[in-house]
A and B are shown apart, each in its own frame.
Chain A
Amino acid sequence: MSIRSLRARVTTWYVGLLAAALVVFGACLYFGFKHYLDNALEDALAGEARSIAQTFVSEVENRGPAWLSAELSESYPSENGEHYIRISRLDPGGDYQVLYQSADARDLSLATPQLMTRGHLHDPGLRIETRNDQKIILYSLPYKLSSGTLYLIETGTPHGRVEQLLRSLLEILLTLTPLVLLGAAAGGYLMMAQPLKPVVSLTLQAERIGIGELGERLPVIRTGDELERLSLSLNRMISRLEEALAHNRRFSADVSHELRTPLTILRGELEHVIQMRNAGPGVAESVGSALEEIERLAKIVESLLTISHLDSGGAGIEFNRFDLQELVKTTAEQMKLLADEKQITMRSDSSGPVYSFGDESRIKQVLVNLLDNAIKYSREGGQVVTSVRTEDNNAVLTVRDDGAGIPSHALPHVFERFYRAEKARPRGTAGAGLGLSIVQAICRAHGGTVSVTSTEGRGTTVHVRLPGADLAPPNMAQDQQAVIR
Chain B
Amino acid sequence: MRILLVEDEPKVAGFVERGLSAERYAVDVSADGQEAWELAEAYPYDLIILDLMLPTLEGKDVLQRIRKKNTTVPVLILTARDTLDDKVRLFEMGADDYLTKPFAFAELLVRAKALLRRGPVNRSSTLRIGDLELDRLTQSVRRAGRRIELTTKEYQLLEYLMQNAGRIMSRNMIIEHVWDQSFDGFTNIVDVYVRHLRAKVDDAHEFKMLRTVRGTGYMIRSEEES
Contacts and interface: CB of A to CB of B under 8 A. Distances in A.
Interface of A: 257, 260-261, 263-272, 274, 284-285, 287-292, 294-295, 298-299, 302-303, 305, 309, 315-316, 318, 331, 334-335, 337-338, 341, 361-362, 364-365, 367-369, 372, 428-432, 434-435, 438
Given A257-B80, A265-B12, A372 B180 contact: no
A369 B84 contact: no
Interface stretch (B60-68, B141-149, B189-197): B189-197
Interface string B172-196: 0000000111110111110011001
- Which of A257, A334, A361: most chain B Cβ within 10 A? A334
B215 A288 contact: yes
Given A334-B153, A432-B186, A261 B9 contact: yes
Contacts of B187: 335, 338, 368, 372
A290 B100 CA distance: 20
A284 to B, nearest CB: 7
B83 interface: yes
Contacts of A369: 185
B186 A430 contact: yes
Given A265-B11, A285-B214, A361 B182 contact: yes
A274 B19 CA distance: 12
Given A260-B80, A260-B101, A430-B188, A292 B215 contact: yes
- Which of B84, B101, B151: most chain A Cβ within 10 A? B101
26 contacts: A261-B101, A263-B102, A265-B15, A267-B102, A268-B12, A269-B11, A271-B216, A272-B105, A274-B216, A288-B214, A288-B215, A288-B216, A309-B83, A315-B84, A316-B83, A316-B84, A334-B179, A334-B189, A337-B151, A361-B181, A365-B181, A368-B182, A372-B185, A430-B188, A431-B185, A432-B186
Q: Is the interface of A mostly helix, strand, loop or mixed?
A: helix
Contacts of A318: 84
B85 A264 contact: no
A263 B101 contact: yes
Contacts of B83: 309, 315-316
Q: Size range of the interface on B?
A: 35 or more
Contacts of A290: 215
Contacts, number: 131
Contacts of B113: none
A362 B182 CA distance: 7
B215 A365 contact: no
A278 B192 CA distance: 31
- Which of A261, A264, A335, A429: most chain B Cβ within 10 A? A264
Given A274-B213, A316-B84, A341 B192 contact: yes
B84 to A, nearest CB: 3
A368 B185 contact: yes
Contacts of B18: 272
Given A315-B85, A316-B83, A341-B192, 8 more contacts: A267-B105, A270-B215, A290-B215, A302-B100, A305-B82, A318-B84, A337-B192, A361-B180
A318 B19 CA distance: 37
A265 B12 CA distance: 5
Contacts of A365: 181-182, 185
B81 interface: yes
Contact of B189 (A265, A269, A337): A337
B48 to A, nearest CB: 18
A284 B105 contact: no
Given A260-B102, A269-B11, A309-B83, A292 B214 contact: yes
A264 B185 contact: no
A269 B13 CA distance: 11
Contacts of B19: 268, 271-272
A242 B84 CA distance: 25
A260 to B, nearest CB: 4
B215 A287 contact: yes
Given A368-B182, A430-B188, A432-B186, A261 B215 contact: no
Contacts of A295: 171, 215
B94 to A, nearest CB: 20
Nearest to B172: A295
B12 A264 contact: yes
Contacts of B91: none
Given A271-B105, A337-B192, A435 B11 contact: no
A299 B185 contact: yes
A338 B185 CA distance: 15
A257 B100 CA distance: 11
Given A267-B104, A268-B16, A271-B106, A429 B216 contact: no
A338 B192 contact: yes
A429 B9 contact: no
B101 A335 contact: no
Interface in B199-221: 213-216
A294 B193 CA distance: 22
